[in-house]
Structure 1
Amino acid sequence: MTPSARIAAAIEVLADLEVRRRPVSDALREWGQTHRFAGSKDRAALASLVYDALRRRASSMFLLGRESPRAVVLGMLRLGRGLGTKEIENLFSGERFAPEALSADERQRLEAPTPDMPAASAGDFPEWLEESFTRALGDDLIVETQALADRAPIDIRVNTLKTTREALQNALMHFAPEPTPHAPDGLRFHVGDDGRGPALQVEPEFIQGLYEIQDEGSQLAARLTLAAPGEQVIDLCAGAGGKTLALAAQMDNRGQIYATDIDARRLAAIHARLERSSARNVQLRVPRGRYDPVRNPEVADPLADLSGSADLVLVDAPCTGTGTWRRNPDAKWRLRPGALSERIADQAIVLDRAAALVKSGGRIAYVTCSLLPDENDDAIVGFLARHGGFSIINPKDVAELAGLPHLAAFATEGGGLLLSPHRTDTDGFYIAILRKQ
């Protein structure tokens, strides 16, 4: 495919996404199945164009003065990839397989200096979230949300049950990994201009279980739980097991981790990962059906025998995922206010469940991959109002005990820690540690 044909295909995929609101990966997969002539490089280039266009969707539409897939791609080429008008004009030539030639208005807008934009357009986020983002980010609203629109690096967590960071860095030297800025067991790989990174999941070291692909923010969240060898830990929302595996290594395979999830299907991937990692202190508690103490109480609680026994309950809470928009730029445009309300209700349910599982003197680690205070500080305030026997541990103390004292600079007013792409060069994560009296 020619570069112009790839641009036309990107506009086509974006138009499909407007009609059928679905994950971009599904739309790209379907396009590939119906365009068999496209090779692997074409499909990769197309995916990069579509994802980059979604990153700059709002600012591109403001720049072009219209809401259309064509405007989004034009704006992305100008604002995201820094192409000049002549370069864009060559791509939009109107020739065979190329998009229609630029109009006079489009050319004028592309040639003009970048205009001042409203916050939601400049930061490329849904306008209805501006109040919440402002509460969380203050004067850094624009720079933080713009960082959320950038491409993310690829981070891995070294499995210290099997190797060291130094040894693994040497083994993967052909990819030029760098130590992560904060996490002591992380390595970072940068993506190329095409948006692609190394195929780390086919490397022998990955197959041997020497590392897991995991954003540095997620690694830090696991470390900030303060999980220690010998403790009894419950991972309430284990999902595919990324933080479960991190905790097992942090605990040096000593103590016990009970990993569960309300939906058994989410646990499907954890089995092979556990075997590969050599984690021996993890016990899976798989519900026989979708366990939900409020909406589905007839399903037996897989943790019924553990009430009041845990030193630590990790609540990696269901959330809007606003902190992961660097990796999932399509998710921001599919998010609706109703989804936020649902997640807030889910967070209260899972926190209340955690309260019944932790023992006296034990801890709840509340984690979200969200930047919204509605899901973070507000959730903690609501929990403390419902459960008088708990208090929040000073985030400075949490950071120091985790061996990460510099993270105390990112404490929130509500007593949590907020990581973000601009502040810490990680995905957005919120961590708060609560202690039962």
Structure 2
Amino acid sequence: MAKQDAGHEAAQEGRVAAMTPAARVAAAIGVLDDCFSGMPIEKALLRWSRGSRYAGSKDRAAVRDLVFGGWRRRRSAAHEGGAETGRGIMIGMLRQTETELDHIFTGQDHAPAPLSPDEAASPATRPGPAVRQDLPDWLWDRFEADIGEEAEAAAQALRDRAPVYLRVNPRRGDAHRALRSLASDGIEAVAHDEVEGALRVVSGERAITRGRAFAEGLIELQDASSQAAMLRLPLRDGQTVLDMCAGGGGKALALAGRADVAVTAHDISAARMRDIPDRAARAGVRIKVAEKLGSMTCDHVLVDAPCSGSGTWRRDPGGKWQLTPSGLADFAALQARLLDAATRHVAPGGSLSYATCSVLREENDANVAAFLSRHSGWILRDRMQRLPGQDGDGFFLARFERG
């Protein structure tokens, strides 16, 4: 069925004249201007796509890549392009990739208008460090203070597209079987050097969810850093696990696949969990979905807390432009409340794990220290922090036990 769908899409694509590179840039300019007006990036792309029936799947993918690339590099590209507009960003992005601007900005056949003399000139000033790192000034200050000498590498990683990682589901097979199955669907992947069961997709990522390995539950989309964190939780057959902020259930699936444990998924929004039963069935694991926890206690409680997402901003670049100091403080306060609430659901002799996809101390180590000061009977047993890079996203994990 997947091959038939792919063939049908290819046939449809053949009946649609592909947009020129210049027309794709023009489309990206319009989408970026919608983002500047306050529209979320996904909504802006959907609006363009619905109004551009002439665009084939390759055109939509190309425009999406241009838009996300431009929004990730919003400050540096706007500096290079001379204006914080969609047009300025695309001029700057093309300069950064050493693309010949005169071949794009022709004003012909749906191409953007020719460059003005000011636009054709190189920037008169050198960008400051926050501009070069594509972060708001206050956030670059936090990165330097919180990450130190690794701040620049982390910020630079957030300027580029994130690598795609898959988690091999041990209930369905091993990495060798997964690699063979992916290859049969035209998807090339390689094993992660450090994280067992993690595969980095080299090519063909857009076909993953149409492939046999995904349909059979052999693989799931999950970043390598998140996988590494879940592998650190000590699990034994027969234990109970609560994923207290489960969302779509990715981490609950990873834990259920590791051992014969009873996993319960909970989230304040029941709608976020609606796909968990189907995902669990495909993976061959059992996950109970609980809208209310009551007095439930479990051997392991995971609080994968809502956060700034600063370790994953290359996937959601709008986050770094929307976050404010007060918003960051609000996240930290919410995280503290969730940790306090989670202690009530840890069974005697059990453990509590706290995770974020943030690189910022206020959400990570500062919250850990504050938790320990409020709860003297708890001890920090494990800590992991990974920064964004080719090996995965930014991720933080702390595990506590009662003393």
Specify if TM > 0.5: yes
Deviation for aligned residue 1:96 = 4.0
Aligned partners of 2:154, 2:335: CA distance in 1, in Å? 25
Deviation for aligned residue 1:257 = 1.5
Letter in 2 for 1:185: G
Aligned partners of 2:24, 2:137: CA distance in 1, in Å? 30
Letter in 1 for 2:140: E
Aligned counterpart, 2:360: 372
**Secondary structure, in 3 states, of the residue corresponding to 1:152?**
coil
**Secondary structure, in 3 states, of the residue corresponding to 1:153?**
coil
Asked if residue 244 in structure 1 is aligned to residue 252 in structure 2, the reply is yes
**Secondary structure, in 3 states, of the residue corresponding to 2:336?**
helix
Aligned partners of 2:188, 2:210: CA distance in 1, in Å? 17
**Among 183, 192, 198, the residue aligned to 1:186:** 198
Q: Which sits farther off after the overlay, 23-32 or 182-191? A: 182-191
**Among 131, 134, 145, the residue aligned to 1:135:** 145
Letter in 1 for 2:25: I
**Secondary structure, in 3 states, of the residue corresponding to 1:305?**
coil
Deviation for aligned residue 1:142 = 1.8
**Secondary structure, in 3 states, of the residue corresponding to 2:350?**
strand
Aligned counterpart, 2:5: none
Q: Which sits farther off after the overlay, 322-331 or 205-214? A: 322-331
**Secondary structure, in 3 states, of the residue corresponding to 2:238?**
coil
Aligned counterpart, 2:23: 5
**Secondary structure, in 3 states, of the residue corresponding to 1:124?**
coil
Letter in 2 for 1:318: P
Asked if residue 434 in structure 1 is aligned to residue 400 in structure 2, the reply is yes
Aligned partners of 2:113, 2:141: CA distance in 1, in Å? 39
**Secondary structure, in 3 states, of the residue corresponding to 1:31?**
helix
Alignment map for 1:156-195 (pairs within 5 Å): 156-173=166-183, 174-190=186-202
Alignment map for 1:16-415 (pairs within 5 Å): 16-19=34-37, 21-79=38-96, 82-84=97-99, 87-109=100-122, 116-173=126-183, 174-190=186-202, 197-251=205-259, 254-280=260-286, 282-286=287-291, 302-306=292-296, 309-393=297-381, 395=382
Q: Which sits farther off after the overlay, 124-133 or 334-343? A: 334-343
Aligned partners of 1:242, 1:43: CA distance in 2, in Å? 27
CA contact (8 A) 1:320 1:343 kept: yes
CA contact (8 A) 1:133 1:141 kept: yes
**Secondary structure, in 3 states, of the residue corresponding to 2:101?**
helix
Question: Structure 2, unaligned stretches of length 5 or more?
Answer: 1-18
Letter in 2 for 1:284: V
Letter in 1 for 2:74: R
Aligned partners of 1:18, 1:65: CA distance in 2, in Å? 16
Aligned partners of 1:140, 1:89: CA distance in 2, in Å? 38
CA contact (8 A) 1:119 1:142 kept: no
CA contact (8 A) 2:181 2:212 kept: no
Tell me the matched-pair count: 383
Letter in 2 for 1:145: A
Provide Cα deviations, 1:372-424, integer angstroms capped at 9, x if missing partner. Answer: 1110011111111111111111x4xxxxxxxxxxxxxxxxxxxx3211223x6
CA contact (8 A) 1:231 1:311 kept: yes
Deviation for aligned residue 1:65 = 3.8
CA contact (8 A) 2:209 2:215 kept: yes
Provide Cα deviations, 1:87-133, integer angstroms capped at 9, x if missing partner. Answer: 112101233422121222332217x9xx7532221111222212321
**Secondary structure, in 3 states, of the residue corresponding to 1:313?**
strand
CA contact (8 A) 2:229 2:384 kept: no
CA contact (8 A) 1:4 1:98 kept: yes
Letter in 2 for 1:171: S
CA contact (8 A) 2:195 2:227 kept: yes
Provide Cα deviations, 1:203-256, integer angstroms capped at 9, x if missing partner. Answer: 1221111111111111111112223322221110111110001001112xx232
**Secondary structure, in 3 states, of the residue corresponding to 1:430?**
strand
Deviation for aligned residue 1:345 = 1.8
CA contact (8 A) 1:229 1:250 kept: no
Provide Cα deviations, 1:123-151, integer angstroms capped at 9, x if missing partner. Answer: 11222212321122212222210111111
Give the superposed CA RMSD.
1.8
Relative to 1, partners in 2 of residues 1:53 and 1:183: Cα closer, same or farther, differing over 3 Å? same
TM-score by structure 1 length?
A: 0.83
Aligned counterpart, 1:405: none
Aligned partners of 2:145, 2:154: CA distance in 1, in Å? 13
CA contact (8 A) 1:224 1:431 kept: no
Aligned partners of 1:419, 1:18: CA distance in 2, in Å? 31
Aligned partners of 2:205, 2:320: CA distance in 1, in Å? 23
Aligned partners of 2:237, 2:134: CA distance in 1, in Å? 43
CA contact (8 A) 2:238 2:262 kept: yes
Aligned partners of 2:334, 2:202: CA distance in 1, in Å? 35
CA contact (8 A) 1:260 1:284 kept: yes
